[in-house]
Amino acid sequence: MLTCKQVSNALSKEDYEKLSPMRKFFLKLHVKLCIFCGKFNGQVMESQDMCRCYKEHEQDVESARPKLDTDKKEALKQLLAEQSKR
Amino acid sequence: MVNRSFAGNVVLIDSSNDSLNNQLAKVDYTIERVSNPAHCPNSSSMSDPKQPKVEIAPPDTWVDRYGDYLYGFAMSRLRNPEAAADCVQDTFLAGIKALDRFDGSRDIKFWLRGIMRNKIVDQIRKSIKENKVDIADEDEALLESFWFKYSGIATTNPDPWQFNPRKYYDNSEFWVVFESCINQVKEPARQAFILRVLEDQTTEEVCKVLDVSPNYLWVLLHRAREKLKVLLEARWTGKDVK
């Protein structure tokens, strides 16, 4: 049986998909039986799911993001014009 | 009688019918133009796999088209206006150099964003070198307690969410708040979170960039997640009450 430390190590640092079937089984078993690890795992999964959704919705927040300064834009335009001529 | 080849079929036409003859000549020419791209240099060929499938905007229009988008993206990852502007500039310059390798399979905006991801990692590496985090000075109490908790058997119960965030996944305002909460997380936990979770770098890559051990990265990610949860709860539930 894995300890809580080994479980949280595996959940936080290791790539779940790359774990061996035996390790996956004992991980699942521990997470099902241990109330602390179950909640910890739930919150890590929740956080990862939230970040995945955030990446999918990133276009929705584009309008709220800061814009490039006009001066910087002009300087960049000049630089790009010079570079594209080369 | 005139023998005219029309898309592989032989059509017999009365030579006295000039207008019909002219019309068919036009149709024939059009077919030839479509089937043989050498006759129309301005049109893109469908049969040539090397030809891009999407329009390539000329580099001198990139600033107007993608400047704000890329700057906003860089700001969401770097939080520093100077670094973000540098990142946009580096991305455009790298884009010009690599333009002949652009296969046209997707919009050039997303191709540039792909280049920008590498530039963001470079900027984070640069800022880490400039502001080296001393782990010994970094609140060691947290490290100790964390190690204590997970030294064998866990003894603390993580606090449950004060609201169900899943309910708001379709609300764009929630993601604006989420992004601003990420930006409020303290460095280097934020940088670790951005690289590992948002930029999908492997643990080894993130450890190399941040120059930390996997154990400390684990602590940083845990701290970032915890802080993000606290900030989101404070901002979002506070919002709901209003």
pLDDT at A14: 64
At B24, is the pLDDT very low, low, confident or very high (cuts 50, 70, 90)?
very low
Task: Answer whether A79's CB lies under 8 Å from B89's CB.
Answer: yes
Please give the C-alpha separations between residue B99 and each of A29, B2, B91, B95, B106, in angstroms, as whole numbers: 51, 51, 12, 6, 13
Higher pLDDT, B222 or B25: B222
Task: Answer whether A23's CB lies under 8 Å from A52's CB.
Answer: no
**d(CA B158, nearest CA chain A) in Å:** 6
Each domain of chain A, given as residue ranges in start order, spans 4-85
Dihedral of the alpha carbons of B222, B225, B227, B229, in degrees to the nearest 10: -140
At B8, is the pLDDT very low, low, confident or very high (cuts 50, 70, 90)?
very low
- Reply yes or no on whether the pLDDT at B16 is more than 80: no
- Asked if B172 is an interface residue toward chain A (Cβ–Cβ < 8 A), one would say yes
pLDDT > 90: percent of chain B? 1
pLDDT in tens, B161-212: 888 888 888 888 889 899 889 988 988 889 999 998 888 888 888 888 888 8
| Residues B219, B214: Cα–Cα separation, whole Å | 9
pLDDT in tens, B68-88: 889 998 988 888 888 888 899
- Reply yes or no on whether the pLDDT at B27 is more than 60: no
Please give the C-alpha separations between residue B140 and each of A6, B137, B215, B230, in angstroms, as whole numbers: 22, 7, 13, 21
**d(CA B133, nearest CA chain A) in Å:** 21
Higher pLDDT, B103 or B53: B103
| Residues B6, B2: Cα–Cα separation, whole Å | 12
